[in-house]
Structure 1
Amino acid sequence: MNIRIRTPWIKAAVLGLGGSLVVALLVLAFMWPAKTSTAHHLPVSLAGPEAAVTAVEKQLEQASPGTFVVHRAADRTEAESQIKRRVTYGAIVLSTGNGGQPAPPEVLTAPAAGAAPTQMLTGLASKLQADMGKQIAAAGGDPASAKVTVIPLVQLSANDPMGSGLALAALPLALGGVIGGVLLSTKVHGTWRRLGGAAVFAAAAGGLLVLIMQAWFGYLQGNAWLNVAAIGLTVGATATFMIGCVKLLGSPGIALGPIVTVLLGNPLSGSNAPWQFIPEPWGAIGQFLVPGAGNTLLRDISYFPEANTAQQWLTLAAWVIFGALLALAGEALKRRRLAGSSPRVATSP
């Protein structure tokens, strides 16, 4: 007769409580950035005559302290270059009209850089126009003549007009890397075979996801092969890190990987809002984690080909190397333990 041993009530209650804490931690991790992020330290370009630029810079700081970080540009061309190189999220271009009088400014936006910066700069254009109208009216002119032009410089894809495609892809990319790492860690024996499997997984995932996100959905733009490399390196970095954690720590490593990548990295990635809006120093730290580097790299490849992406490529490559080193360290420790526990064979003199 089979006798089933029932789990003690206290253990069932503790497990239930632990599960609820995990759920609370998940909710907190994903909601915390949205709750605590504020519109501040947004880099914008400011170009025009020195006196006008200085006046507008002071006006911005007085009206919205800490909201904007001004990057001065010699002219409109340099301001556009700063936007396209991802130095800034937009620009205010001041100019002088006929007779040396100030001409209505232009506000350049980059919708592909995110909805929040675009909305902020559009609102700023409305405020500049209202202030200019007051100045013209005070001088006895027609306030309706004040006109600030908003010019979208870097547009989103027609297939992704709200920019939600790249944002939605952030979490599946993180989870995909975790799943790949867990499968290889639990179903493949041999450290080098696991790492080789991770390389195949990264290459195949990069190709398949580009077929879906670029060829089919049209969410990704730019060079398809670069996108394959970027996605492959992103999911491969997470998978390799998972393999290293499991090899070095055993079962606890299965939990550590998702904590770093999903619970910490994804909320800090800046996929839904500029990383500058996340409380310091977490926004900057997020750019050196896999989800942040991968998200920024994909956006830059798609819409900002002039941007310097060296940091993102090096960050992702460093995570791959780090994961591989963890796996090799775990293999070395395993061999040392086995050598230490093996019985010594006595030899006759």
Structure 2
Amino acid sequence: MMKASTPKFILTLAIGLTAVLSIMMTAFATPAVNSGIHNVPIGIVTKNDDMYQKMAKPLDQRGFDVKQYETEVAMKDAVSDRKIYGAFEMSASGDMTLYKATAASTAVAQALETIGQKVVDQQKVAAKEQIQGMQAQTTDVTMLKTLDAKLQAIDGKSLRVQELRSFPSRDSKGAGLVAGALPIALGGWIGSVAIANVVKGKRQKFFAAIAFAITGGLGLTAVIQFGLGTFDGNYFITSLGAMLGIAATAFFVLGLLEMLGNGGLIIAAITLILLGNPLSGLGSAPEMLPAGWGFFGQLLPPGATGTLLRNLTFFDGHAIAMPLLVLASYIIVGLGLFFIGKKSVLVKDEKEA
């Protein structure tokens, strides 16, 4: 006859589940409520220090991390190297140009365009007020015609936008990459649990995880690139990045399962799904999450995998050192736990024998 659970066990279980629920709520809600501009790196193209200070100050106050670039070429190199998300340039005639990289972050690109347009609108209002004041103080017909022409020219001014790195036209907002965060986390977790429960033998589980990473990477990239049209880079190179991300997830989960059993499964779920998915920054940018959360999200497999795929596909492989290091660390730690777990099982079997 099965022994009934004690009140102490029930209370402990309830408290544990409440803690998991609280972690889930914090991880999902905090970024959504507090997302915004948090030291997002952008540039200003100008050789004039006074102009730079004038433009940088309001942007600093909005939360941007502003850098000065003396030439357009230097600025574009910085965008390609993933050092900045975009830049503003003001011409001698007062025309403003925005250089944006939508593929780096749709949310940041939209924010920069909104800010740039607001600046242009403010300039137009100020210029109109100045000219209208001049019109009120003169009766000279020639002067009035000249001022009228200037007013019309001001009305025609708008923010000039130059796209530096865009998503393909089939998915111009990169929705496929954003949606891929959950499959990367949940799919890797589910696949690893299936391998742990269905495949018999430690060596067989090891090779099954490798096979899953290879086929999963090829399949995930195929869906995003050929099915959704989000990627347009080298399919096989991008697939290698996806394989690494899935391998990191798979071996991390398998290692925790071998070491801790069901307890490891809970840790993996919290790390990869409850925290990794909402903190990946794929929906906005790591710098748009609350301070510290964005960086932490890049230390988890979903965030590192998303950043790796983005930089491989759209930025010629620049700034991939950190995500590679993060994913390699999860693979190494996972394999270590996997083999340590194997030894502990052998010791247990010998004692029972």
Q: Same fold (TM over 0.5)?
A: yes
The Cα offsets for residues 140-178 of structure 1, whole Å up to 9 and x where unpaired, read as: 553436443122222221111232111111101111110
Question: Greater shift after overlay, 139-148 or 126-135?
Answer: 139-148
**Residue 300 (1) aligns with residue 298 (2):** no
Counterpart of 1:35, as a letter, is: V
Distance 1:240 1:8, change over 3 A: closer
The count of residues paired between Structure 1 and Structure 2 equals 331
2:257–2:265: 8 Å Cα contact kept in structure 1? yes
2:223 to 212, 222, 227: 212
The Cα offsets for residues 209-252 of structure 1, whole Å up to 9 and x where unpaired, read as: 22222123222221101121111111111110011001111221
Alignment-derived partner of residue 84 in structure 1: 80
Q: 1:9 & 1:285 partners in 2: Cα distance?
A: 39
Alignment-derived partner of residue 99 in structure 1: none
1:49–1:94: 8 Å Cα contact kept in structure 2? no
Pairing of 1:1-349 with structure 2 (within 5 A): 22=20, 25-50=23-48, 51-61=50-60, 65-96=61-92, 102-137=93-128, 138=130, 140=134, 142=151, 143-144=154-155, 146-305=157-316, 307-339=318-350, 341=351
2:225–2:235: 8 Å Cα contact kept in structure 1? yes
Deviation at 1:324, TM superposition (A): 0.3
The Cα offsets for residues 75-118 of structure 1, whole Å up to 9 and x where unpaired, read as: 1122122222221111101233xxxxx44121112222223212
Gaps of 5+ in 2: 135-149
The percentage of aligned residue pairs carrying the same residue is 28
Deviation at 1:56, TM superposition (A): 0.9
TM norm structure 1: 0.85
Q: 1:213 & 1:247 partners in 2: Cα distance?
A: 32
1:133–1:145: 8 Å Cα contact kept in structure 2? no
Q: 1:207 & 1:306 partners in 2: Cα distance?
A: 18
Q: 2:228 & 2:125 partners in 1: Cα distance?
A: 47
TM norm structure 2: 0.84
Q: 2:285 & 2:172 partners in 1: Cα distance?
A: 18
The Cα offsets for residues 280-303 of structure 1, whole Å up to 9 and x where unpaired, read as: 212111112100010111122222
Alignment-derived partner of residue 142 in structure 2: none
Q: 1:220 & 1:12 partners in 2: Cα distance?
A: 50
Distance 1:24 1:148, change over 3 A: same
Deviation at 1:54, TM superposition (A): 2.0
Q: 1:282 & 1:17 partners in 2: Cα distance?
A: 25
Gaps of 5+ in 1: 97-101, 344-349
What RMSD in Å do the two structures reach over aligned CA positions?
2.6
